[in-house]
Chain A
Amino acid sequence: MNGGEWGIYIVLYFWLAAMGGGAFLVSLLGKNSSTQRLGAWMAFLGVVVGALLLIVDLGQPLRFWHLLASFKPISVMWLGSAVLALDGLALFLLLLLKEWPRWLVWTAAILTLLVVGYTGVLLMATAKPFWAASPLMPWLFLASAYTTGAALLALFGEGRAHQIALWMGLIEGILLLLHLIWTYPAAARAVRALLTGELAWAFWGFVLFGLLVPLFLEARRQSPVLAAVLVLLGGLLLRYFIVYAGQIGYVI
């Protein structure tokens, strides 16, 4: 084993930050202030736990402050750590305040959008064909953020979020299919690993239980709790197989 691949901490971070951030973005679509506060809490927890996971994943965790001592916007890794820190701050302020100033809500919303979106750009800016050969990584991660975020809100009794989870789940499935077709010429090994190889369990597990079953349940408005839980676990599987498929051929 070569070591050093992006592993389970990164998978968990991608999943949690997108889920919490997505919940906040979905909560802002409605006018219910208690739902919005709940969304802000979820995003805040996602950002804080996510940042801790990222620090633990570093080879030199105690040097994490080197990120803050630098200024390198061309590096998606640097920009990501900056928006993560700023978003944490903005969400923390929101949680402290009783009345939310409009500008702060907008700032937090844009920063949250950047947090859930930069991860796709990060993967696109690599030399790994499965991540970089199509421009769809940010699309897929954003769609999944909305899907899992809406499912998380739905789990906390926000019934209207089901519609978002349903539609975004549908879009997510189409984007995934497009991505596989698009990257196949450049990343055949990764795509085959997903369809029939070592990652097939995660890929088909996602397609079946993270996508098709919840879509079916949501469309028929049955077992909303089960549907939401499946969507959340599906989001984890999606991050898992994307992160590992991109690095196939790297670990020997």
Chain B
Amino acid sequence: MPRAEDYAILFDTSYCTGCRACQVGCKQWNDLPATETQNRGSYDSLELSAHTWLKMSFFEGLDKEGEVYWDFVRTSCMHCTEAACVEACPTGAMNYREGGVVTVDQDWCIGCRNCVQACPYDAVHYDEEKGVVQKCTLCYDRISNGLEPACVKACPTGALRFGRYGELRAAAEKRVQALKADGFTDANVYGLKEMGGTHVIYVLLRHPSTYDLPLNPKTQKEKVAVGWLSAGIAAATLGGLSWIIARREELSGGES
């Protein structure tokens, strides 16, 4: 669980207008080059990459009453408390910093991309020119100097808020109660239990699966434990079988 005094970002779908100022603010502050976009029949025109650490995803459909909805959801690093990228990293370059922020040490990263494969939010990407991985830093350079992250600073509607985890979590839960009272019965807070609790939490109008968010993503510890257990049973079974086949072959005199 994140600590109450940890840094946090609260993203509230119900306030977001999909203006993408956060996306631009992120690029500008972090000196990231423009990315060629692609018209795929929606406003959702690019993917996260080494040069795009934050993007707004656009979701449209019909709700239960047959009304059209068009929702905008932040896609970026969630700064997990039990981050898959940190645990998958073989060198410790990807690590937790003060206040629960997850960043990669670019001078220590070897570019193995294990974190890219491990992240359930697709938030870590490989920079081919630099030979290391890149991701959202929660604007660590800004927040450690008393400023808000660039995305939060750029948000004109209050859909993004920066602060201490304890306060923002309470605010998120209060907001969900208000939304439920307003008729959004599926409103929920996302990120409270995922990956040990994330430092970026979402207020969602609909079920997380509506927004392609992973449901109950497994932590690296669980995955690795199951993996080694399975490998152990496999080694015993297949090793034993090969031994039996070899013995049978020996008894029958073999044939070469």
Contact = CB atoms under 8 A, between A and B. Distances in A.
Contacts of A216: none
Query: What's the interface size class on A, roughly?
Result: 35 or more
B255 interface: yes
Given A4-B116, A124-B226, A163-B246, 18 more contacts: A3-B126, A6-B113, A26-B246, A60-B111, A64-B110, A72-B90, A75-B90, A75-B114, A78-B90, A78-B91, A113-B239, A121-B227, A122-B114, A138-B235, A142-B235, A142-B238, A160-B256, A171-B238
Contact of B238 (A29, A168, A247): A168
Contacts, number: 183
A77 B90 contact: yes
A221 B256 CA distance: 10
A163 B255 CA distance: 10
B247 to A, nearest CB: 8
Nearest to A1: B128
Interface in B168-218: 214, 217
A76 B88 contact: yes
Nearest to B49: A2
Contacts of A77: 88-90, 112, 114
Interface string B89-100: 111110000000
A204 interface: no
A127 B212 CA distance: 14
Contacts of B227: 76, 120-122, 124-125, 135, 137-138
29 contacts: A6-B113, A25-B239, A29-B242, A58-B131, A59-B110, A59-B112, A59-B131, A59-B132, A60-B109, A60-B131, A63-B111, A75-B88, A75-B114, A77-B112, A77-B114, A113-B235, A121-B227, A124-B223, A124-B226, A125-B223, A127-B84, A127-B217, A138-B227, A138-B230, A142-B231, A163-B249, A167-B245, A168-B238, A168-B242
Contacts of B111: 58-60, 63
Interface stretch (B6-14, B22-30, B64-72, B117-125): B117-125
Given A67-B110, A72-B89, A25 B242 contact: yes
Contacts of A167: 241-242, 245
B110 A63 contact: yes
Interface string A84-97: 00000000000000
B137 interface: no
Interface residues of B, number: 60
B110 A60 contact: yes
A57 B243 CA distance: 36
A230 interface: no
B126 A4 contact: yes
A117 B234 contact: yes
A66 B249 contact: no
A117 B231 contact: yes
A252 interface: yes
Given A2-B49, A66-B93, A74 B234 contact: no
The 5 closest A-B pairs by CB, nearest first: A59-B111, A4-B126, A159-B256, A59-B131, A78-B90
Contacts of A3: 50, 126, 128
A121 B126 contact: no
B220 interface: yes
Contact of B118 (A25, A118, A127): A127
A195 to B, nearest CB: 23
A118 B231 CA distance: 8
Contacts of B250: 30
Nearest to B214: A127
A26 B254 contact: no
A121 B231 contact: yes
Contacts of B119: 127
Contact of A66 (B108, B130, B223, B242): B108
A126 to B, nearest CB: 4
Contact of A158 (B229, B235, B256): B256
A72 B122 CA distance: 23
B14 to A, nearest CB: 28
